[in-house]
Structure 1
Amino acid sequence: MMYRLVADAAMVVHFAFLAYLALGGFVAWRWRRTIWAHLAVVAWGLVSIVTGVECPLTLAEDWGRRAAGLEGLPASGFIDRYIEGVIYPEQYTNLARLGVAVLVLFAYVGYVLRRQ
Structure 2
Amino acid sequence: MNSAAIAANPASQIQFADLLTQQLKGVDNTEVVVSITTVPPHTKLPTHWHPGEEFAYVLEGSATLHQEGKPDEHYTKGDVGVVPLKAVHTVSTQDESATILIFRVHELGQPGRVLVD
Q: TM-score, normalised by structure 1?
A: 0.25
Larger Rg belongs to: 1
Bigger relative contact order, structure 1 or 2, given CA contacts below 8 A and separation 6+? 1
More strand by share: 2
Q: TM-score, normalised by structure 2?
A: 0.25
More helix by share: 1
